[in-house]
């Protein structure tokens, strides 16, 4: 059963190594010209992981030819930031085959975007699209052929459309990740889009530590230094707002603290601050940050803004989310309300909430 991994960043390389080490043929595709270390990967076709997972995976191929990468692939995993979804989907759609499973990690409304783009391209291939709410690991590339996995997540969620294919996709993914990460069922793909922990874990610690990060960009620890008791309180209030939006849409969302304990291990922490500073934290060694990092430039327009706009459509206020989008826009001289994952860009601006939900049934 061939796996095609689209992307070659931290998560894509870790997934490639771990799935290949499990015995599956894996082809990794790099979408960008000029990635300095990619030619070396094409020569060696081998990736190692170290840290919480130590494996060595021999890849079937490493290519920049997407047609070659996805040909006859049973599973196509798209492991890239949300801003890269549209250009990658545009390249992928002409080469889709009936029966393929597309798994986007993490989803961030990718399923809606893919279906919109397939419709616009006149593509009627019978595929399954599935999404997770998060990456399987906290990891960073160390060298061209080595990824450090600071900590794996014990379990994450996976939802599929059509939902009837969910059990089949989970079975495949659970076999490929056996012994490391378990894929649990999620009730609806939109639950995944509302459950990315970055919503809560990333923007406030940057925006409320702006000066400290500016002065110490290479040593500031986003979680250990940035999540103080008072900032944790604000994060938890933002989390309640996210959960209320989910409830308005008919979902019972897990709190971010519940998700952290599911991902990295349960303990008696009562707040995000306590959990981040507990022995279960995956974040102790993560240093280096800047005020224009992806924690703002990706997560505000790609994670928070679309949920805030969906809240408006559902008729529920989202003042904290709105303030984050407004404040980040002002600080960066940008308009994050019109960039990234707008409801127009994923094809649901003119749809009712009921139609949005039924679209991914």
pLDDT in tens, 191-230: 999 999 999 999 999 999 999 999 999 999 999 999 999 9
The reported pLDDT for the residue numbered 37 is 77
Q: How far is CA 134 from CA 104, 175, 292, in A?
A: 10, 19, 21
The reported pLDDT for the residue numbered 289 is 79
Q: How far is CA 186 from CA 85, 163, 246, 265, 307, in A?
A: 22, 10, 13, 19, 18
pLDDT > 70? residue 319: yes
* More confident position, 31 or 321: 321
The reported pLDDT for the residue numbered 33 is 64
pLDDT > 80? residue 354: yes
Q: At what angle do helices 229-248 and 256-264 cross, to 10 degrees?
A: 100
State which fold the 198-359 domain adopts.
1.10.1040
For the stretch 253-271, pLDDT in tens is: 999 999 999 999 999 999 9
Three-state SS annotation for the chain:
CCEEEECCCHHHHHHHHHHHHCCCCEEEECCCCCCCCHHHHHHHCEEEEEECCCEEEECCEEECCHHHHHCCCCEEEECCCHHHHHHHHHHHHHHCCCCCEEEECCCCCHHHHHHHHHHHCCCCCCCEEEEECCCCEEEEEEECCEEEEEEECCEEEEEEECHHHHHHHHHHHHHHCCCCCEEEECCCHHHHHCCCCHHHHCHHHHHCCHHHHHHCCCCCCCCCCCCCHHHHHHHHHHHHHHHHHHHHCCCCCCCHHHHHHHHHCCCCCCCHHHHHCCCCCCCCCCCCCCCCCHHHHCHHHHHHHHHHHHHHHHCCCCHHHHHHHHHHHHHHCCCCCCCCCCCCCCCCCCCCHHHHHHHCC
For the stretch 91-115, pLDDT in tens is: 999 999 999 999 999 999 999 999 9
Handedness of CA 228, 230, 234, 237 (dihedral sign): positive
Q: How confident is the model at residue 40 (pLDDT cuts 50, 70, 90)?
A: confident
Are 131 and 159 within 8 A, CB to CB? yes
pLDDT > 80? residue 36: no
What's the CATH class of domain 3-193? alpha beta
For the stretch 156-182, pLDDT in tens is: 999 999 999 999 999 999 999 999 999
pLDDT > 70? residue 55: yes
For the stretch 216-227, pLDDT in tens is: 999 999 999 999
The reported pLDDT for the residue numbered 34 is 59
Nearest CA to 261 out of 271, 252, 250 is that of 271
Dist. CA 336–CA 324, nearest whole Å: 10
Q: How far is CA 28 from CA 11, 191, 276, in A?
A: 12, 28, 33
Q: Nearest 5°: CA angle at 170, between 167 and 171?
A: 85
Structure token digits, residue 165: 């294919």
Dist. CA 341–CA 28, nearest whole Å: 26
The model's pTM is 0.95
Report, in angstroms and rounded to the nearest whole number, the Rg of the chain calculated over CA atoms: 19
Q: How far is CA 226 from CA 201, 278, 311, in A?
A: 10, 15, 28
Please compute the mean of the pLDDT values over residues 57-81 and round it to a whole number: 96
Handedness of CA 294, 20, 90, 160 (dihedral sign): negative
Domain boundaries, the chain: 3-193, 198-359
Structure token digits, residue 202: 């990333």
The reported pLDDT for the residue numbered 200 is 98
Dist. CA 57–CA 17, nearest whole Å: 4
The answer to which of 27-36, 243-252, 297-306 has the lowest mean pLDDT is 27-36
């Amino acid at each position: 059963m061939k796996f095609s991994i689209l992307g070659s960043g931290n998560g894509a390389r870790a997934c490639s190594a771990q799935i290949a080490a499990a015995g599956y043929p894996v082809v990794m595709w790099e979408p960008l010209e000029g990635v300095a270390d990619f030619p070396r990967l094409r020569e060696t076709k081998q990736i190692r992981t170290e840290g919480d997972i130590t494996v060595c995976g021999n890849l079937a191929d490493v290519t920049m030819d997407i047609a070659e990468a996805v040909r006859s692939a049973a599973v196509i995993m798209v492991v890239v930031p949300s801003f890269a979804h549209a250009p990658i989907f545009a390249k992928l759609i002409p080469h889709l085959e009936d029966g393929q499973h597309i798994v986007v990690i993490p989803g961030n409304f990718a399923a809606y975007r893919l279906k919109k783009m397939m419709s616009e391209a006149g593509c009627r291939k019978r595929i399954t699209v599935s999404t997770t709410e998060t990456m399987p690991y906290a990891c960073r590339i160390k060298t061209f052929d080595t990824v450090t996995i600071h900590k794996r997540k014990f379990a994450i969620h996976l939802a599929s459309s059509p939902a009837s294919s969910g059990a089949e996709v989970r079975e495949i993914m659970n076999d490929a990740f056996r012994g490391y990460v378990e894929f649990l069922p999620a009730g609806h793909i939109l639950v995944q889009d509302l459950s990315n922990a970055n919503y809560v874990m990333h923007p406030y610690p940057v925006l409320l530590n702006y000066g400290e990060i500016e002065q110490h960009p290479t040593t500031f620890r986003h979680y250990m230094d940035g999540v103080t008791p008072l900032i944790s309180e604000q994060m938890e209030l933002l989390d309640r707002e996210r959960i209320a939006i989910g409830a308005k849409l008919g979902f019972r969302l897990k709190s971010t603290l519940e998700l952290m304990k599911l991902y990295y291990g349960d303990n008696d922490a009562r707040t995000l601050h306590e959990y981040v500073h507990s022995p279960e934290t995956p974040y102790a060694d993560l240093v280096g940050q800047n005020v224009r990092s992806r924690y703002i430039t990706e997560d505000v327009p790609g994670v928070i803004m679309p949920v805030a706009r969906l809240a408006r459509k559902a008729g529920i206020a989202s003042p904290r989310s709105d303030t984050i989008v407004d404040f980040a826009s002002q600080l960066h001289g940008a308009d994050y309300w019109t960039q990234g994952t707008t409801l127009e860009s994923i094809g649901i601006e003119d749809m009712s909430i009921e139609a949005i939900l039924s679209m991914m049934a």
